[in-house]
Structure 1
Amino acid sequence: MSTDLGAVDLTTRAARPISIGCLLLCLIAASLVVRPVAAVPVVQTWTLDNGARVLFVEARSVPILDVAVDFRAGAGFDPNERSGLAAMTQHLARFGAGGMSEEDIARRFADVGAQLSGRIDADRAGFNLRTLASRSERAQALEVFARVVQSPDFPQSALDRERARIASNLREEATRPNVMASRLFFAAAYGNHPYAQRPLGDPADVRALTRDTIVDFRRRFYNGASAVVSIVGDVSRAEAGEIARAVAGALPAGSVRASLPLVA
């Protein structure tokens, strides 16, 4: 509720600053009383046998489950003259996994209203799942998600198609002044550091990517030591433990987490 200061009866000009100050203090105090302080979510953490770290927040207000699996496998780890390798490795996983075709994957997610998405930056590559938290719906969504995360097939037909499409998009982007300005900025800011690389790669490098290089990149960087599993939703701690093991427990343990050099 707002207050019209012009309607306040101020008897003298000297009293005006004091009265307004007192009124503002009262309004601030009232707002602190009527506005409840949001509870800080409790983050539970543990580690799977293969080294994957798990973060869990129990949220019972909405029957939704969000699961994310991130790897220390971002574009900053692209080898020289193979820019776009990390992005392609992450991107292709949804186009065939665990013996399922991309059509099967899309259909089974759609059947239960689940959503799959992914992301890539210089440091990390990851996958996100949003699904209903009810047991039957989440079971199907998690089964498919686990295949995408842990056992992508990288079908050659999908690689051929996506390689051509992404290279074409990158060539088109090169005609946009804002894109070119962004590239020049990162090159000036980071020099030879991996952060200066373009996450989606150079068109020529992308066209040269092979299935063997993708499989090798995944073998090196997609492992338990590199993984962080984040779970938020309408499930218990025990159920979250089952979910974490389902979507990341089959990853190889790996050795040490990859790291990028410090920015000078």
Structure 2
Amino acid sequence: MSTAARFPIARTRLDNGLRVAVCPDRGVPVVAVNLWYGVGAAHDPAGRSGAAHLCEHLMFDGSRHVRSGEHQLLVHRAGGSGNATTGYDRTNYFTQAPTGALDLVLWLEADRMASAAQGVTPAALDTQRRVIGQEKEQRRAAGPAANGVQAALRELLPAAHPYRRAPIGSVSDLAETTVAEVSDFHGRYYRPANAVLSVVGDVDPDEALGLAHRYFGDVQGVSAAGPADPAPAHGSGPGRAALTGHDLIQYVFLLPADDAATGRDLDAAEIALDVLAGGAYARLYRRLVISGLAAQVTASVSRLAGVSFGTLTARPAPGRDSSALSAAIETAIEDVAQFGPTDAELAIARARLEHGWLLRVGNRIGRADELSRLAWRAGDPGLLNERLPALDAVTVRDVTRAARNWLAVPTTEVAATELVRSAT
């Protein structure tokens, strides 16, 4: 399968430091634009958790040439749609629109990169505080599964580790954030040298690179203060935390960072989790769901610059005790760590991950985001074409070692009080 996907990729770096990647895909007249900034919860100032998330919200609230609320309106009128997300170490803005709207989308992104913070008002700040407060209420209502990861990271990571702060932020910190602080934060991080622009779709690469020069070439940012690319996190791990309730058991594992040096270990750890709980052929699905002990078993991995993490979640079947699930999960992890997966299990897990990756990059928005991630974290968007060969190269021995080193480690129990605190 390693030769099934080869994408043409053009790239450049503007004089102001902006990295640009273009991947033509002329099938339909649609283009996706992704602007990835190297700023997230890890960069929030002390006492101002949620600063990056708040800034993301305010980036839609007007800039020098765009009035409040007009950014999304202009995109929608052109037939497009877009949004943004804030993580632990990055914020990404993504738009998909008809090819004819590419100039508009790039102009809008360049304008808010250069000047969004200049238009922030106390009223806009209050509005976005309320919106974020509503998001937190929705997350709190979602229950333990939505809050367990952050509670686990608080238990597993050192006191100074920036990933202990949830990207959504603290209501009390946000209440004290001022317009001046937002402006300073934007000026520090929303600069070309701290960003990657990726364009995927019905475009000529030379024309798209030319448009990037046209709209972003003169952008310097509001301020040159502060480092363009501060280290977002200290490495940590391995570690494992467990949350157990009457209707849920969730393990959170600290995993290798998402970088070139540890990429094979991270791939192997992800395959190990998939062998355990990745689908209908996974060990725990067969042992727990088919046997009637569990209603659901799932696993996932989040790749981050400082330290990645994986989750394994199981829900007891009606009338079943979660303690039986814990014992079965512990046994399955130890089995993989000691004896490894079978060749068939490795082939199935690898195929599942390759399929998921192909679905992601088959979507223009997903491919643009992946190009930005690789350009930022690995320095080479061309590594997009090396993803399938990298997965194919993972061996049974790699998976066994990863399970032993990253999954079969001592467990820290997460108290219910930590879950409540993580949601506030």
* Structure 1 residue 148, shift from structure 2 partner: 2.8
Give the match for residue 147 of structure 1. Answer: 111
2:212 is the alignment partner of 1:244: yes
2:189 is the alignment partner of 1:189: no
* Structure 1 residue 105, shift from structure 2 partner: 2.4
Deviations 1:200-257 (A, max 9, x none): 1111111111111111011111112211111111111221112322453333275642
Secondary structure at 1:117's aligned position in 2?
strand
Give the match for residue 198 of structure 2. Answer: 230
Contact 1:116 1:127 in 2 (8 A): yes
Secondary structure at 2:104's aligned position in 1?
helix
2:132 is the alignment partner of 1:166: yes
What's the Cα RMSD here? Answer: 2.2
Question: Match for 1:139: what amino acid?
Answer: D
In the alignment, structure 1 segments of 5+ residues that lack a partner are 1-31
Deviations 1:78-113 (A, max 9, x none): 011100001111111111112422333233222211
Question: Match for 1:210: what amino acid?
Answer: T
Question: Match for 2:231: what amino acid?
Answer: S
> Which TM-score applies when normalising by structure 2?
0.50
Q: Distance in 1 between matches of 2:110 and 2:192?
A: 14
Name the CA shift for 1:209/1:247 in 2 (closer, same or farther; >3 Å): farther
* Structure 1 residue 132, shift from structure 2 partner: 0.7
Equivalences for 1:199-238 in 2 at 5 Å? 199-238=167-206
Secondary structure at 1:131's aligned position in 2?
strand
Name the CA shift for 1:158/1:112 in 2 (closer, same or farther; >3 Å): same
Contact 1:109 1:115 in 2 (8 A): yes
* Structure 1 residue 183, shift from structure 2 partner: 2.3
* Structure 1 residue 123, shift from structure 2 partner: 0.9
Contact 1:75 1:123 in 2 (8 A): yes
Deviates further, 174-183 or 44-53: 174-183
Secondary structure at 1:100's aligned position in 2?
coil
Contact 1:164 1:207 in 2 (8 A): no
Deviations 1:29-61 (A, max 9, x none): xxx9xxxx6340022221001011111111111
Secondary structure at 1:97's aligned position in 2?
coil
Deviations 1:103-151 (A, max 9, x none): 33233222211212111111111211211113xx333333333323332
Contact 1:56 1:240 in 2 (8 A): yes
Deviates further, 74-83 or 191-200: 191-200
Equivalences for 1:1-264 in 2 at 5 Å? 38-134=4-100, 137-152=101-116, 153-171=119-137, 173-174=139-140, 176-192=143-159, 193-252=161-220, 256-264=228-236
Q: Distance in 2 between matches of 1:65 and 1:166?
A: 30
Q: Distance in 1 between matches of 2:150 and 2:104?
A: 41
Secondary structure at 1:138's aligned position in 2?
helix
Contact 2:43 2:52 in 1 (8 A): yes
Secondary structure at 2:59's aligned position in 1?
helix
Contact 1:45 1:53 in 2 (8 A): yes
In the alignment, structure 2 segments of 5+ residues that lack a partner are 237-424
Give the match for residue 12 of structure 1. Answer: none
Q: Distance in 2 between matches of 1:258 and 1:247?
A: 26
Name the CA shift for 1:149/1:165 in 2 (closer, same or farther; >3 Å): same
Name the CA shift for 1:39/1:144 in 2 (closer, same or farther; >3 Å): same
Secondary structure at 2:39's aligned position in 1?
coil
> Which TM-score applies when normalising by structure 1?
0.78
Secondary structure at 2:128's aligned position in 1?
helix
Secondary structure at 1:102's aligned position in 2?
coil
Q: Distance in 1 between matches of 2:4 and 2:137?
A: 47
Query: How many residues align structurally?
Result: 227
Q: Greater RCO between the two (CA within 8 Å, min separation 6)? A: 1
Q: Distance in 2 between matches of 1:56 and 1:99?
A: 26
Name the CA shift for 1:245/1:63 in 2 (closer, same or farther; >3 Å): same
Name the larger-Rg structure.
Answer: 1
